[in-house]
A and B are shown apart, each in its own frame.
Chain A
Amino acid sequence: MNAIIASALLGVLMMFASWIFDNEKTHTRIALVGLLALIVANVLQLNGIYTIPVDYKGLLSFTQFGLYVNTILFILTFLYVWLNGDEIAKIGNHAADFYALFFFILCGASILTSFNNLLMLFIGVEILSIPLYILTGADKKNLNSNEAALKYFLMGAFSTGIFLLGITFIYGATGTFQLVAPNVNPATGMVREQLMQSAGLILIFVSFNFKVSAAPFHFWTPDVYDGAPTVFTSFMATIVKATAIIAFVVLFHSQFKALGYAWELLLTFVLISTLFVGNITAVFQRSVKRMLAYSSIAQVGFMLFALYGPSSFANEGILLYIMAYSVASIGLFGVLIKMKEYSFEAFNGLAKKEPLLAAMTTIFTLSLAGIPLTGGFFAKYYMLNAAVQSGIGLWLVALAILFAAVSVYYYFKLIQAMYFVEGEPAIHEVEQGYKYKLLVFAILILAIGILPNVFLSYLYF
């Protein structure tokens, strides 16, 4: 509750900040302080010290898991703003406006981690999405950015419609918006209105696939990620995507398990096509930014393994996954922002000119590829373990592994360009401070990769 209220208030506060202060550095500082306050507010609730008393009529339910996810998301946002503050200020007229949007997004995110009611879920998704349309089109004078925003908005509106239809069906079958066990006839033990519930569920499933950009609902992703200003792509591809995935997992780990195999079959189909489309298409990309867009689709394929059955591996795994994936991606986008152009050739010879930067890029890349000693390894490991434990066929896991090997191909193209090809890298001047900030991300990745336990122990307080 604390997080929802605090983030909404901070969003409003941030809007007025651009009135009062003219300096964009100050805006960034205010946003950082606001984020810290948000983290503190959330941790107060997480540790059971103080919660703002609000009667939310059972629409929300605050679990240790959800609150911990909040903390992770807020910390990630803090790190993101801390790293990218200067870049954000370069876009548009008032950085403060963007920060306000960030806070609104976080408000949506905190609803999405604690909903107990389909309407709350819907509100959360919308609060999360609408600021994103604005952020995508933030670079007003750039046609690509405009196109991306319009595309995103239209497709998003469409998927919202599907989402609402799904909720309607479920309401029709159960008579309530609350997340409750499927309506079972006690005499026969059968689920009442199974067809209607399943149809509703599948519609919600489709809509969520759109939000997390799983194939075959991924078509908007490359264009939007490519068109949006790179700093905001970084935000969308990591923190926002992580939130959507978590909501997805929470929803489908809840009562819907009982509804049986209709959607599990569908999930297998979506999972395979996501892995396929993401990985195979990424191989052929010339631009690193577009490659990262496709690779983010491929990563979602792995995250979807968490949907199979609630288990401690699935829950812990998805947390590790969003942490490792987000930190590595924010870092990698952080390097990308400093490039003059986004082709692979632009990275040629980077190791010679900027050894530290190249080494950190390597760590981020290795993590995305899932190599041990980096966080990405344990993320993938937990997902695979969850999958094997849930009893789905080993063939699916083997298939995922094959695609993981494919992903090595395109991730390592970046490493090859940096280390093994001579050339003059097309990179702007990078100040020392920025490198040290990136170093924090790299160290974080290694820490998750060596002692993942530390990052999970909070779950069991």
Chain B
Amino acid sequence: MVLLSILSIPFIAAIILLFVKQNEKANYIAIASSGITLALALNIAFNGAANFDASWISSINARFVLTADGLSKILLLLTGISFPAIFMATSKNEIKNRAQFLSLMLFTQTGLLGVFLAGDALLFYFFWELALIPVYFLCSIWGGEKRIAVTFKFFIYTFLGSLFMLIGIILVYTHTADQSFAIQSFKQASLSAGQQLTAFALFFTAFAIKMPIFPLHTWQPDAYEQSPTAVTMVLSAVMVKMGLYGVMRWLMPLFPNAFSAHSNFVVILSVIGILYASFIAIRQDDMKRLIAYSSIAHIGLMSAALFANNEIGAQGVLIQLFSHGVNVLGLWIIADIIEQQTGTRSLKEMGGLAKQNPTLGILLVGFAFANIALPLTNAFVGEFLMFNSLFQFKPWTAAAAGVSVVLAAIYTLNMVQKCAYGEVSEKMSKMQAPNVPAQFVLIVLLIVVIISGVYPAPLFDLTADTLQQLFIK
């Protein structure tokens, strides 16, 4: 039941918000509902929850099944933390029709939670699409100048990908013994080698576009740049995880042979993507684009480690799913505060943040360190494990991906230097102290970064069962 309620709370709040007119009230409702969701997520993560199973479309044997294992829990936590953080950090921003904006955000949250909880393939597909539709409207209505074309590209890309996944689902479904969409039946479907390969390709296309894996990434930087920052935060902190989640939940267990047969190919693509994105990030002057490319590089590393197909890599990814979300969220919030107050995203026009506002300067440095995966930050744990796994897979892939750490240090520190140090620039002189909720959120996030960096054991415990399922048959 608790699984059903975590899904219905944002949904109900979203519907209520459709009828709310005042901005203040809307804010309270959104923050309150996402706060309750966070509490439920914590409860599910640390106390566990019984499966929810109800009849849905009986004639084709599709059921409304929600389950939460370690993989789901860690992403529930991430979704749970992200939304209240985003709502609070952007609560003072100028957004017209705020109630509608927040309502669509909460619909997105419903879709995301559904994706992470669904234990039935058709239901999974349902939520997968549902998470996309509100984002389409959010970006197209509240986005930047080129928003309509950019968002449409993003939408068509991901929609096409998910349609391919739909064919994959149908293909596996027709080969299940009991004609059902349950994940257990899917695992036991009798597919020939050729069919397994086809189904693998169909699912993989959807996930690869979502992550995105090079060369399917072209929608992403534009979409991140043109979206309103609150939506960019959702996209990069939570939504890209849908692709990685899909790989771990469906691709690995369902098509083990095709998976290991193609791991080489995907790892190479991912490594190319990492280097490519890192080099582009170095050249960026726009802070938002820089973070976007850095995020592509980090996700690339995660997909490489996942497709290296060993336990240590999967463990690293499971930790990093959470850590990357928190880190990138922190960076986005800081970038947003700077843009809101100084009106610029160009690094050339910044400088002297540390003098102008020491607190924000320190926070920026903190998240920047986490972005480079320095020891004591949460990202170190995950990235260490992931490099380890790549080394086990093929040492040269670890070496190639290792270059990206150096590159990450270059672009991240470059950003910190241009933004925080030097003389106070003309634009930066307009910078005042960020509002209290935003500051509060940043501090909390930084605490999470450090705690999970120093003492990551709870995260390991949380995800142990998923690892066991994936690797110990």
Establish whether residues A371 and B174, one from each chain, have CB atoms under 8 Å apart when the complex forms: no
Is B447 part of the binding interface, using a Cβ–Cβ cutoff of 8 Å? no
Establish whether residues A404 and B163, one from each chain, have CB atoms under 8 Å apart when the complex forms: yes
Closest to B199 in A: A394
Question: Would you call the interface of chain B mostly helix, strand, loop, or mixed?
Answer: helix
Establish whether residues A419 and B137, one from each chain, have CB atoms under 8 Å apart when the complex forms: yes
Provide the residues of chain B in CB contact with A255, threshold 8 Å.
none
Is A366 part of the binding interface, using a Cβ–Cβ cutoff of 8 Å? yes
Stretch at the interface among B152-160, B333-341, B434-442: B152-160
Is B76 part of the binding interface, using a Cβ–Cβ cutoff of 8 Å? no
Is B451 part of the binding interface, using a Cβ–Cβ cutoff of 8 Å? no
Establish whether residues A456 and B140, one from each chain, have CB atoms under 8 Å apart when the complex forms: no
Provide the residues of chain A in CB contact with B60, threshold 8 Å.
313, 385
Provide the residues of chain A in CB contact with B192, threshold 8 Å.
none
Is B36 part of the binding interface, using a Cβ–Cβ cutoff of 8 Å? no
> Which residues of A from 381 to 421 have beta carbons under 8 Å from B?
381, 384-385, 388-389, 394, 397-398, 401-402, 404-405, 408-409, 412, 416, 419-420
Is B166 part of the binding interface, using a Cβ–Cβ cutoff of 8 Å? yes
Minimum Cβ distance to chain A for residue B16 (Å): 16
A453 to B126 alpha-carbon distance, docked (Å): 16
Minimum Cβ distance to chain B for residue A408 (Å): 6
A366 to B155 alpha-carbon distance, docked (Å): 13
Minimum Cβ distance to chain B for residue A368 (Å): 14
Is A216 part of the binding interface, using a Cβ–Cβ cutoff of 8 Å? no
Contacts A381-B166, A405-B160, A408-B159; is A451 near B57 (CB within 8 Å)?
yes
> Which residues of B from 213 to 252 have beta carbons under 8 Å from A?
none
A366 to B163 alpha-carbon distance, docked (Å): 15
Counting contact residues on chain B (CB < 8 A from A), the size range is 20 to 34
A394 to B148 alpha-carbon distance, docked (Å): 33
Against B, the Cβ 8 Å flags (1 = close, 0 = not) of A426-461 are: 000000000000000000000000011100110010
Is A172 part of the binding interface, using a Cβ–Cβ cutoff of 8 Å? no
Establish whether residues B174 and A372, one from each chain, have CB atoms under 8 Å apart when the complex forms: no
Is B125 part of the binding interface, using a Cβ–Cβ cutoff of 8 Å? yes
Contacts A366-B133, A381-B166, A452-B57; is A372 near B125 (CB within 8 Å)?
yes
* Residue in B148, B166, B167, B171 whose CB lies within 8 Å of A416: B148
Closest to B152 in A: A412
Is A312 part of the binding interface, using a Cβ–Cβ cutoff of 8 Å? yes
Is A30 part of the binding interface, using a Cβ–Cβ cutoff of 8 Å? no
Is A37 part of the binding interface, using a Cβ–Cβ cutoff of 8 Å? no
Minimum Cβ distance to chain B for residue A421 (Å): 8
Establish whether residues A405 and B174, one from each chain, have CB atoms under 8 Å apart when the complex forms: no
* Residue in B57, B141, B160 whose CB lies within 8 Å of A420: B141
A371 to B126 alpha-carbon distance, docked (Å): 9
Provide the residues of chain A in CB contact with B164, threshold 8 Å.
398, 401
Provide the residues of chain B in CB contact with A457, threshold 8 Å.
59
Provide the residues of chain B in CB contact with A397, threshold 8 Å.
167, 170
Establish whether residues B57 and A453, one from each chain, have CB atoms under 8 Å apart when the complex forms: yes
Interface residues, chain B, CB within 8 Å of chain A?
56-60, 122, 125-126, 129-130, 133, 137, 140-141, 147-148, 152, 155-156, 159-160, 163-164, 166-167, 170-171, 173-174, 198
Can you list 22 A-B pairs with a CB-CB distance of less than 8 A? A312-B59, A313-B60, A372-B125, A372-B126, A372-B129, A373-B126, A373-B129, A377-B129, A384-B167, A385-B170, A388-B171, A388-B174, A394-B167, A398-B167, A405-B160, A419-B141, A420-B148, A451-B57, A453-B56, A453-B57, A456-B59, A460-B59
- 10 nearest CB pairs, A to B: A372-B129, A401-B163, A405-B160, A388-B170, A453-B57, A372-B126, A420-B140, A385-B170, A420-B148, A389-B174
- What 13 additional pairs, Cβ within 8 angstroms, besides A388-B171, A394-B198? A366-B133, A372-B130, A384-B167, A385-B173, A388-B174, A394-B167, A397-B170, A398-B164, A398-B167, A401-B166, A412-B155, A416-B152, A420-B148
